[in-house]
Amino acid sequence: MKNISSIDFRNDFVNGFNGDESGNITPRQTPGVFYSRAVPTVVKDVTLIAWSDELAKELEIQRPINQADIDILGGKMVTPSMRPYAACYAGHQFGNWAGQLGDGRAITLGELQTSTGKVWELQLKGAGRTAYSRNADGRAVLRSSLREYLMSEAMHYLRVPTTRALSLVSTGERVMRDMFYNGNAAYEPGAIVMRVAPSFLRFGNFEMPAARSEINNLRKLIDWTIERYYPHINGDNKILAWFTEVVERTASLMVEWLRVGFVHGVMNTDNMSILGLTIDYGPYSFVDDYDPNFTPNTTDLPGRRYAFGRQAAVAKWNLACLAGAIAPIVEDNDKLIASLESYDDFYWSRYNTMMANKLGLDAVSEKDMKFVEQFEKVLSVIKPDMTIFYQLLIDLPGEIENEQAVIEHFEESFYETPSDGEVEKLFDLMKTYSERIQSNTISRKESIKRMRENNPRFVLRNYLLHQAIEDVEKGDNTLFVKLQEAIKEPYSVKFDQFYAKRPSWAAEKAGCSMLSCSS
């Protein structure tokens, strides 16, 4: 185990691609380069708030024991082996081409290689201005940083592919933020998260050179990505094979989001990982009451482009943007289109398997697909708490006696009392479900086991995050520490103190139900 200050960082990306090494952080277009040098802005006083011991163990990094190591986590200190930079990329935002974007408040320090040979990229989010900050300050506040730190790790323990978070520090400075872009700006405590991933490459990294007709740069980036992150792919058709795997990884990620009820909130192409990871935690939320049209992002209203039930379709749209970017170097665009269209079959295959596990079925047959569709339709009408409803479904009695018994069984999950017509629909649904369970080719014990393994009992709800943020800002980290432990066992009853519906006060409260891209 090493101190972070003693690590000899690799700089493969910087060494392998053209970049602007001037260190000039004036906002500007940077054609022809993949990154711009960006040294973190020195902050006043770096204080460690949170540290992931589990991730640190995997990275073979020792918990900071001196201020020098802590200062690195806040960008106050840069070691000689680091060559910090901000990546240049583009993107489609809310369906529109946005042109050059880039790391506006994220600075990569370098790459760390462990004794197993695995390489990780270490990046500070909120470390100051870069050439891509545009008119922003490159900073992050405690509110958004705590949310990213906790959710990155929470998704890991939910078994959802994700970037990770090693540390959360305060900067000892105040940062001005207008949370909802409505003219009510206020100062908030500054903070920085150290994010970790094999790579932070996004669809937008490939869109940028394509948009500038920098075909050689595009080809070089694709070849490097395949060689480094998809080494099992080779041959004459390797680019098509690579794109097909990106399609499959992205489809699988969408299925995992839907399994746990996660809504990303801002699925722009610059927020889509080329490795199929959940990346950039901003106005995210878990679904409380089951609503396919739910979006936590006020910026996404009224269109709800990135609503819970639309995420899979948006992912395919984003993949189409990626396909368009790489098309100039693909010889057979018909095959490229075919790879893109394979998304649907792959997605639905994975989705049906996921729903079989959530419902405790041996498999989802063609006949079952109609039942699953009806199941979700009834839930969208009654709008029970998604997490609690599926937990109660696990313990549903084998025989459903009457409508009253069904209502009493699921009562804990209701935000509003169902109407008579809704009760009838739920009763009929549960009768059908019980009959289907009885025809399983797996034992009831195995069925329940699958349900418990795939339906989380604890999810990091926004109202809990909001409470933790308010407490930490007041100097009380009790809830924050408890949540750090709870996220590690989301399928356990160990933290049933958090097994509860969203309280009524949180339904319309800023920071709980209403978030923005500034969150």
Compute the mean pLDDT over every residue in the chain, rounded to the nearest whole number: 96
* Domain contains 446: no
Residue 312 sits in which domain range?
204-356
Domain shared by 43 and 69, yes or no? yes
Domain shared by 11 and 123, yes or no? yes
- The pLDDT assigned to 401 comes to 83
Q: What is the pLDDT of residues 420-467, one digit of tens each?
A: 999 999 999 999 999 999 999 999 999 999 999 999 999 999 999 999
* Domain contains 63: yes
Domain shared by 22 and 165, yes or no? yes
Question: Which one, of 171, 148, 7, lies nearest residue 75 by Cα?
Answer: 171
Helix, strand, coil abundance in the chain, percent, nearest 5: 45, 15, 40
Model confidence at 513: pLDDT above 80: no
Active-site residue among 71, 270, 280, 288? 270
- The pLDDT assigned to 510 comes to 79
Token reading at 392: 């109660």
Amino acid at position 447, single letter: S
Domain shared by 384 and 487, yes or no? no
Domain shared by 216 and 327, yes or no? yes
Q: What is the pLDDT of residues 25-49, one digit of tens each?
A: 999 999 999 999 999 999 999 999 9
Domain shared by 72 and 192, yes or no? yes
362 among known catalytic residues: no
* Domain contains 218: yes
- The pLDDT assigned to 511 comes to 80
Please state the domain count of the chain: 4
Domain shared by 412 and 343, yes or no? no
DSSP 183-213: S--EEEEEEEEEEEES---BHHHHHHHHHTT
Q: What is the pLDDT of residues 301-352, one digit of tens each?
A: 989 999 999 999 999 999 999 999 999 999 999 999 999 999 999 999 999 9
Q: What is the pLDDT of residues 386-426, one digit of tens each?
A: 999 999 999 998 888 899 999 999 999 999 999 999 999 99
Which of residues 150, 172, 200 is at a domain's end? 200
Which of residues 200, 223, 247 is at a domain's end? 200
Domain shared by 55 and 150, yes or no? yes
* Domain contains 517: no
Domain shared by 310 and 435, yes or no? no
Domain shared by 111 and 158, yes or no? yes
Domain shared by 391 and 476, yes or no? no
Domain shared by 184 and 300, yes or no? no
